[in-house]
Structure 1
Amino acid sequence: MRYFVHIGYHGLHYGGWQKQPGVLNVQGVLEKALTQIFKCPVFINGCGRTDAQVHASQFFFHMDLEQNWDFDLLFRLNKLLPYNIAVFDIIPMEGLPHARFDAVMRSYDYFIHTYKNPFLHGLSSYYLLKDLDLDQMKKAVDLLPRYKDYRAFCTSPDKYEHTICNVMSAGLLVDQHGDRIRFQISSNRFLSKMIRIIMGQLLKIGRGVLSVDEFEHNLSSRQTPELITPAHPQGLYLSRVVYPYLNLQPRAEFSAVPQNQSDKLWKLL
């Protein structure tokens, strides 16, 4: 029987989702816990591959289990897992749907704070920058859904069959004090470090060292910028994953601290 498992995790202390030797990773921790519970190897497939220190407020993986169980698997799994990984739902599925290849939309949020705040450490990216030109950053963000090829904003474009991404929406928000920024983007797929590269370019625009025209030229020409500076990983959250047959609301806020407990405190630019 195939199951989809709905989870969330705080990725600060992990080397990313994907299992790899010698690096603490989310996939490996989950497989170890499931193997311990069922006393046989359990392998899982995730809906994506988040980078080291990147978070996920909504994430899905699928697993195949032949045996039935007569205990509360959700409770037992959450009890066994560390504090920074939570399981929300375990959903039996018909057929063999795939957690990664069947996803039709993924949404990410990126949080920045421009003042020193120890309570945002690891939850939002800290950039000590004054007077960012948010209007110019917003003009660049508005360009994103107009383009489909994101070869220019990828660290390893040649490893992909193609670099087409159907960016459905992108937005820039700011809090009531103007010193916390939130970038949102939704697409059917994302390339390696694509969001962090875009965010790094947006910060350059905000500082006045890159123009919106130069930003658009990279998109239209598919030419990689001479200097790529990906934004810090700690502010990035995979926040939504949608399937044709499964569209669940996230079970947790991105974080009560960076989201400031209410979307009403964020103003769309």
Structure 2
Amino acid sequence: MRYFVHIGYNGLQYNGWQKQPGVLNVQGVIEKYLSQALKTEVFINGCGRTDAHVHASQFFFHMDIEQEWDFDLKFRLNKLLPLNIAVFDIIPMEGLPHARFDAVQRSYDYFIHTYKDPFLNGLSSFYLLDNLDFDKMKQAAAVLPKYKDYRAFCTSPDKYEHTICNVMSASFAVDTNGDKLRFQISSNRFLSKMIRIIMGQLLKIGRGVLSVDEFENYLITNTTPELITPAHPQGLYLSKVTYPYLNLPPRVEFSSILQKQTDVTWRTL
């Protein structure tokens, strides 16, 4: 039987989702405790591969389990797993749907705060910046859905069969004080470090060292910027994954305080 498992995790201590030897990763930790709980070796397939120190407030993986369990697996997993990984739902699926390949849309949030706050450390990216030009950043973000080829904003474009991404939306929101910023972007797929590279370029626009036209020209010409400066990983969240047959709301009560604040008190630019 195939199951989809709906989880969230704080990625600060992990070297990304993907299992790899010698480093702490989310996939390896979950497989360890799943195998322990079910007393058989379990392998899982995730809906994506978040980078080191990147969070996921909504994430899915699938697993195939032959023998049905006779206990509350969600409860047991949440007891076994470290506090930075939470299991929200375990969903039996018909047939063999794939957590990664069947996803039709992924949405990410990127949070920035421009003042030093120890309570946001690790939940948002700290940039000591004054007077960011939010209007110009908004203009640049609005350009993104007009283009399909994101070769310019990828660290290793040649490792992909193609660099086409269907970016459906991109927008900014800011809190009432103007010192916390949220960038949201949705697409069918993302390339390696694509969002962090885009965010790094948008910060340059906000600081006035890059124009909106120069930013758009990278997309028109597929030219990689001479200096790629990806934004910090700590402010990035995989926040929504959508399937044709499964569209669960994120479990916001388990998400960062920033995400709850933006839905209530922030204004869209």
Q: TM-score range by the shorter chain?
A: over 0.9
What residue in structure 2 maps to residue 72 of structure 1? 72
What residue in structure 2 maps to residue 261 of structure 1? 261
Equivalent-residue separation in structure 2 for 1:227 and 1:253 (angstroms):
39
Equivalent-residue separation in structure 2 for 1:18 and 1:58 (angstroms):
16
Equivalent-residue separation in structure 1 for 2:186 and 2:96 (angstroms):
25
Sequence identity percentage: 80
What residue in structure 2 maps to residue 213 of structure 1? 213
Determine if the alignment matches structure 1 residue 177 to structure 2 residue 182.
Answer: no
Equivalent-residue separation in structure 2 for 1:260 and 1:97 (angstroms):
31
- Retained in 2: the 8 A contact 1:253–1:259? no
What residue in structure 1 maps to residue 143 of structure 2? 143
What residue in structure 2 maps to residue 13 of structure 1? 13
What residue in structure 2 maps to residue 31 of structure 1? 31
Q: Deviations over 1:157-187 (max 9, x none)?
A: 0000100000001101100000010000000
What letter matches 2:147 in structure 1?
Answer: Y
- Retained in 1: the 8 A contact 2:55–2:234? yes
Equivalent-residue separation in structure 1 for 2:52 and 2:77 (angstroms):
23
Residue correspondences, number:
269
The two structures have a TM-score, normalised by structure 1, of 0.98
Give the Å deviation of 1:40.
Answer: 1.5
What letter matches 1:33 in structure 2?
Answer: Y
What residue in structure 1 maps to residue 89 of structure 2? 89
What residue in structure 2 maps to residue 187 of structure 1? 187
* Secondary structure of 1:196 counterpart: helix
* Secondary structure of 1:136 counterpart: helix
In structure 2, the CA distance between the partners of 1:205 and 1:103, relative to structure 1 (3 Å rule), is same
* Secondary structure of 1:90 counterpart: strand
Q: Deviations over 1:60-116 (max 9, x none)?
A: 000000001110011001100000000000000000000000000000000000000
Equivalent-residue separation in structure 2 for 1:182 and 1:75 (angstroms):
33
- Retained in 1: the 8 A contact 2:106–2:242? yes
Gaps of 5+ in 2: none
* Secondary structure of 1:119 counterpart: coil
Give the Å deviation of 1:262.
Answer: 5.1
What residue in structure 2 maps to residue 163 of structure 1? 163
In structure 2, the CA distance between the partners of 1:103 and 1:169, relative to structure 1 (3 Å rule), is same
Q: Deviations over 1:223-269 (max 9, x none)?
A: 00000000000000000000000000011257443235351211111
What letter matches 2:59 in structure 1?
Answer: F
Equivalent-residue separation in structure 2 for 1:91 and 1:186 (angstroms):
24
Equivalent-residue separation in structure 2 for 1:54 and 1:183 (angstroms):
15
Determine if the alignment matches structure 1 residue 130 to structure 2 residue 122.
Answer: no
What residue in structure 2 maps to residue 232 of structure 1? 232
The two structures have a TM-score, normalised by structure 2, of 0.98
- Retained in 2: the 8 A contact 1:14–1:24? yes
Equivalent-residue separation in structure 2 for 1:126 and 1:180 (angstroms):
10
What letter matches 2:66 in structure 1?
Answer: E
- Retained in 2: the 8 A contact 1:149–1:164? yes
Alpha carbon RMSD of aligned pairs, Å?
Answer: 1.0
Equivalent-residue separation in structure 2 for 1:20 and 1:196 (angstroms):
22
What letter matches 2:54 in structure 1?
Answer: V
Determine if the alignment matches structure 1 residue 59 to structure 2 residue 72.
Answer: no
What letter matches 2:6 in structure 1?
Answer: H
